[in-house]
């Protein structure tokens, strides 16, 4: 979605004046956000700030009360079939814990979007594509025939990622992808996301509370507070923000440990 000449690329996601209410509770009030092509954007905020509500609004899974949302050049608030199909066909979503169909094997889960959008594919070709995505997500080949109940939590997340990648979408949404994983498993998943993003040219919208993830792989961080995005910038700039929640979150002992880990990794790569 780059523009001609030396102009900056257009946002792949553009949100303006977003308002989301649940009864008398106002979750978002005039929220603005741009997500640029090819970046990993980490979205953070305290409990109840509406990180997942924002993602669901962008995906068209929730109708906001006010505001404009444009995704991949399409008005995400339009309900016509063509607009919805364009967004669904070009986005992949990894919900928390994978959100797999428990009665289907991993391969059958990955094949669900293929059956929806490529109905003319032969069964054997669908299976081969599913196997490719399973391997791409870092799972062993034999995981394709297993049920979600036969997988560990980390493997279920990878299976959900394989399904999210089934249609080769340019835009990937990840909702707390490392939640519940041990530090080694979380670091491995972070590395996988960065590798896939670079290899496939993905744009990634990543909701997380994991400071290690923010420091390790995010190009920019969007902070939701006071019902808005109070800042969206590289993490070094976010750390300088004079805001109570930002100070508490990014300058506590866990943040210092995450920053030290990033510095060690950078030094080892030099």
Which of residues 270 and 93 earns the better pLDDT score? 93
pLDDT score, position 3 = 46
- More confident position, 130 or 264: 130
Q: What is the pLDDT of residues 30-52, one digit of tens each?
A: 999 999 999 999 999 999 999 99
Q: Are 31 and 227 in contact (CB under 8 A)?
A: yes
pLDDT mean across residues, the chain:
91
Least confident of 82-91, 134-143, 213-222, 249-258: 249-258
What is the rounded average pLDDT of the residues 7-15?
90
Q: Which of 5-9, 164-168, 196-200 has the lowest mean pLDDT?
A: 5-9
Give the confidence band of 1 by pLDDT, cuts at 50, 70, 90: very low
Q: What integer pLDDT is reported at residue 270 of this predicted model?
A: 59
Q: What percentage of the chain has pLDDT greater than the value 70?
A: 90
pLDDT at residue 133 in the model: 98
Return the higher-pLDDT residue of 2 and 6.
Answer: 6
pLDDT of residue 177: 94
Give the pLDDT confidence score for residue 12 in this predicted structure.
97
225 has a pLDDT exceeding 80:
yes
pTM of structure: 0.90
Least confident of 86-100, 122-136, 160-174: 86-100
Q: What is the pLDDT of residues 201-221, one digit of tens each?
A: 999 999 999 999 999 999 999
With a cut of 80, say whether residue 4 has pLDDT above it: no
pLDDT score of 2 more than 50: no
**Rounded mean pLDDT, 247-261:** 74
In sequence order, what DSSP letters do the residues of the chain get, joined into one string? -PPSTTPPPPPSEEEEEEEEEETTEEEEEEEEEEE-TT-EEEEEE-TTS-HHHHHHHHHTSS--SEEEEEETTEETT--SHHHHHHHHHTEEEE-GGG---TTS-HHHHHHHHHHHH-TTS-HHHHHHHHHHHHHHTT--GGGGGS-GGGS-HHHHHHHHHHHHTTT--SEEEEESTTTT--HHHHHHHHHHHHHHHHHHT-EEEEE---HHHHHHH-SEEEEEETTEEEEEE-HHHHTT---HHHHHHHSSHHHHHHHHHHHHHHHHH-
Strand 66-71 versus strand 25-35 pairing type:
unpaired
CB atoms within 10 A of CB 48: 9
CA–CA distance, 186 with 261 (Å, rounded to integer): 14
Residue 255 pLDDT > 70: no
Q: Measure Cα distances from 66 to 17, 62, 63, 70 in Å.
A: 7, 12, 9, 13
């Amino acid at each position: 979605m780059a523009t001609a000449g030396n102009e900056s690329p257009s946002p792949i996601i553009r949100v303006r004046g977003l308002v989301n209410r649940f009864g008398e509770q106002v979750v978002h009030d005039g929220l603005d956000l741009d997500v640029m092509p090819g970046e990993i954007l980490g979205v953070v905020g305290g409990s109840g700030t509406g990180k997942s509500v924002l993602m669901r609004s962008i995906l068209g899974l929730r109708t906001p009360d006010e505001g404009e949302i444009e995704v991949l050049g399409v008005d995400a608030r339009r309900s016509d079939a063509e607009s919805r199909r364009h967004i669904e066909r070009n986005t992949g979503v990894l919900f928390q814990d994978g959100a797999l169909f428990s009665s289907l094997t991993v391969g059958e889960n990955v094949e669900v979007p293929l059956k929806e959008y490529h109905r003319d594919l032969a069964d054997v070709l669908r299976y081969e594509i599913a196997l490719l995505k399973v391997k791409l997500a870092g799972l062993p080949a034999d995981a394709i025939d297993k049920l979600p109940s036969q997988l560990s939590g980390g493997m279920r997340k990878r299976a959900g990622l394989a399904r999210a990648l089934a249609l080769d979408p340019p835009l990937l949404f990840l909702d707390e992808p490392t939640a519940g994983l041990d530090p080694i498993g979380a670091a491995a998943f972070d590395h996988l996301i960065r590798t896939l993003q670079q290899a496939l040219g993905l744009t990634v919208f990543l909701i997380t509370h994991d400071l290690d993830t923010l420091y390790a792989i995010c190009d920019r961080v969007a902070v939701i507070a006071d019902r808005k995005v109070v800042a969206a910038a590289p993490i070094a700039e976010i750390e300088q923000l004079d805001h109570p929640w930002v100070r508490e979150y990014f300058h506590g002992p866990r943040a210092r440990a995450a920053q030290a880990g990033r510095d060690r990794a950078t030094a080892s790569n030099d």
